[in-house]
Amino acid sequence: MLEIILIFIIVGTVIAIETRNMLSSVIAVGAVGFGVSLMFLFLQAPDIAITQVIVEILSLIILIRTTTYADNEAIEKRLDTFANMTGLIFLGLFLAFCYWAFSDLTSFGQPLMNVSQYYLSAGLTDTGAANIVAAVILDYRAYDTLGEAIVIFTSILGAFVLLRTKGKKKTEEKDIEKVGIPE
Amino acid sequence: MKKEKIKELIEDPNLGMTLIVKTVARITIALILLYGFYIIIYGHLTPGGGFAGGVILAIAYTLMMLAFSRRIALVKLSDFWASIWDNIGMLAFIVIGFVGLGFGYFLFNFLSKGKPFSLISAGIIPLLNLSIGIKIGAALYAIFIGLSIYGRLVLEEEE
Amino acid sequence: MLLYILNMLVFGLGLYCLIAKRHIIKKIIGMVIIEYSVNLFLILVGYRINGIAPILSPGENPIVFSQVAVDPLPQALVLTSIVIGLGTLALMAAYSIKLYEKYRTFDMSEINRLKG
């Protein structure tokens, strides 16, 4: 089952990379994201599945918004056989090294749970939260969440500074009037 | 802005999408907001939590912006207030953390744990969920305002 | 093992897209795909055969639960990383819009040429 969804994801990825039309490329990324969300659901992670679906919708909106600035044809040179072959060879090498590296990892289905075993057995009595994931992100590792909040704060700040060319003289009402007439 | 003016703007056929989309959006936006708050408040009992719920709140406002127009969404929640809510959520998180400092360490769970599986339980986790949800929702809405308004403004003025 | 390798194939395709494509939005797409792949890999590592979700329901025996539930730690880390991904995606979109405003093209090599 999981393999089938992963193959769907791979097909979606190839379509997203190789399509000429940018809009269909972006939509293929959306399909990949929903496949990933389905995968999370089968891997018993409902928290992340919900978040992934919703984030996927919003990121699709943002990407489409960016794509529609220009004509949505991809800029590609004609197919270069040498470059493609080199890419394939390096992809194969990469996968071979992955195989070599993952042989040291525990096999699929038997995780190494030194810390997590404690979280699972003592989470309810320690924090009182039935959702152990919520207990981990907001009690045991709340520092991590604080750092995450700061990262997202910074990225939003960066985007605002980049996009806002007007400076800060304008008041809020003037901004609204300036925006005016949407088509 | 006055209420009649807003109503006039909402019913203006030149603004936003068609009547069908507007009618559906008017009903669903409230439901989406309700669902977002449900996801946030029950984050410590069921799947969900502040992150997912915050993005749902942002999506409700984004739907408002897409279905009606940028103008109405800005009247309902302007970019200034979105950044204020963003800061409020961030500050609430840090303030709760510093209150915990008085009881033990930073982000100490100082409230009583309560009865498990009830809504009021788990100490500070629901409060932190709420602050994170407000923070994420306001921040993502603000960034969507930025992408859809500031960028376009410059392009239109140049052309 | 097959799942890990297939997952890393997705990572490799994203890396290829990030390096070889010239369109800026294609590069952003490659970045997004790499992010999905890494998130998925962390969750795959934490999966337990026939496991249940790490959420207690009323009346469940906590001892049995702690023996069958999947690993909650990667899930918590990935949960934050997904939302960070959205923030960085928005930042990248803002950068690409700025580049388009300045150079009137999304083509990366064209931008390099115009700059020099």
Query: pLDDT for A72-93, tens place per residue?
Result: 666 666 667 787 788 888 888 9
A99 and C1 in contact by Cβ < 8 A? yes
Residues of chain C contacting A44 with CB distance shorter than 8 Å: 47, 51-54, 70
C4: helix, strand or coil = helix
Residues of chain A contacting C56 with CB distance shorter than 8 Å: 124, 130-132
Is it the case that residue A168 has pLDDT exceeding 50?
A: no
Q: Residues B131-145: pLDDT tens digits? A: 888 988 888 888 888
Residues of chain C contacting B154 with CB distance shorter than 8 Å: 101
The one-letter amino acid code at C53 reads A
Asked if A52 contacts A39 with a C-beta cutoff of 8 angstroms, the reply is: no
User: Is C99 part of the contact surface with chain A (CB cutoff 8 Å)?
Assistant: no
> Where exactly are the structural domains of chain A?
1-74, 119-167
Shortest Cα–Cα distance, C27 to chain A (Å): 9
Confidence of residue C38 (pLDDT cuts 50, 70, 90): very high
Asked if B71 contacts B80 with a C-beta cutoff of 8 angstroms, the reply is: no
Q: What is the DSSP letter of B68?
A: S
Side-chain-facing half-sphere of B82: CA atoms under 13 Å: 28
CB pairs under 8 A between A and C: 246
Tokens of A129: 């939260």
Confidence of residue A103 (pLDDT cuts 50, 70, 90): confident
- Predicted local distance difference test score (pLDDT) of residue B157: 53
Confirm or reject CATH 1.10.287.110 for domain C2-48+62-115, answering yes or no: no
Mean pLDDT value of segment B101-129: 79
Mean pLDDT value of segment B34-47: 87
Residues of chain A contacting B90 with CB distance shorter than 8 Å: 149-150, 153
Neighbors of chain A with 3 or more C-beta pairs under 8 Å: B, C
Residues of chain A contacting C49 with CB distance shorter than 8 Å: 109-110
Q: Which residues pair with C107 in a beta bridge?
A: C23
**Is the ipTM of this structure higher than 0.90?**
no
Shortest Cα–Cα distance, B4 to chain A (Å): 17
Is it the case that residue B35 has pLDDT exceeding 50?
A: yes
| Best mean pLDDT range from A127-131, A148-152, B115-119 | A148-152
> Where exactly are the structural domains of chain C?
2-48+62-115
Higher pLDDT, B80 or C115: B80
C49 and A110 in contact by Cβ < 8 A? yes
Closest to A48 measured CA to CA, from B34, C65, B118, C71 = C71
Closest to A25 measured CA to CA, from B54, B135, C30, B58 = C30
- Predicted local distance difference test score (pLDDT) of residue A75: 64
Asked if C12 contacts A91 with a C-beta cutoff of 8 angstroms, the reply is: yes
Residues A65 and A59: their CA atoms lie apart, in Å, by 10
Nearest CA in chain C to B47: C55
- HEC string for chain A: CHHHHHHHHHHHHHHHHHCCEHHHHHHHHHHHHHHHHHHHHHCCCHHHHHHHHHHHHHHHHHHHHHHCCCCCECCCCCCCHHHHHHHHHHHHHHHHHHHHHHCCCCCCECCCCCCHHHHHHHHHHHHCCCEHHHHHHHHHCHHHHHHHHHHHHHHHHHHHHHHCCCCCCCCHHHHHHHHCCCC
- Predicted local distance difference test score (pLDDT) of residue C111: 79
- Predicted local distance difference test score (pLDDT) of residue A78: 61
Asked if C34 contacts C92 with a C-beta cutoff of 8 angstroms, the reply is: no
Please name the residues between 56 and 115 in chain B that touch chain C, using a CB distance below 8 Å. Answer: none
Residues of chain B contacting C53 with CB distance shorter than 8 Å: 47
B55 and C86 in contact by Cβ < 8 A? yes
A62 and C71 in contact by Cβ < 8 A? no
Q: What is the DSSP letter of C61?
A: -
Give every CB contact of residue B60 below 8 A, 6+ residues apart in sequence. Answer: B29, B32, B33, B36
- Predicted local distance difference test score (pLDDT) of residue A180: 54
Residues A37 and A45: their CA atoms lie apart, in Å, by 9
User: Counting Cβ atoms within 10 Å, is residue C99 exposed (0-12), middle (13-18) or buried (19+)?
Assistant: middle
Q: Which residues pair with C52 in a beta bridge?
A: C69
Shortest Cα–Cα distance, C116 to chain A (Å): 20
Confidence of residue B159 (pLDDT cuts 50, 70, 90): very low
Dihedral sign computed on CA atoms, order C76, C82, C85, C87: negative
Residues of chain C contacting A97 with CB distance shorter than 8 Å: none
Shortest Cα–Cα distance, A182 to chain B (Å): 7
Residues A66 and A90: their CA atoms lie apart, in Å, by 31
A3 and C43 in contact by Cβ < 8 A? no
- Predicted local distance difference test score (pLDDT) of residue B31: 92
Mean pLDDT value of segment A39-65: 88
Mean pLDDT of chain B: 81
- Predicted local distance difference test score (pLDDT) of residue B104: 80
Asked if C72 contacts A116 with a C-beta cutoff of 8 angstroms, the reply is: yes
Mean pLDDT value of segment B43-61: 86
Asked if B146 contacts A65 with a C-beta cutoff of 8 angstroms, the reply is: no
Q: Around Cβ A110, how many Cβ atoms within 10 Å?
A: 10
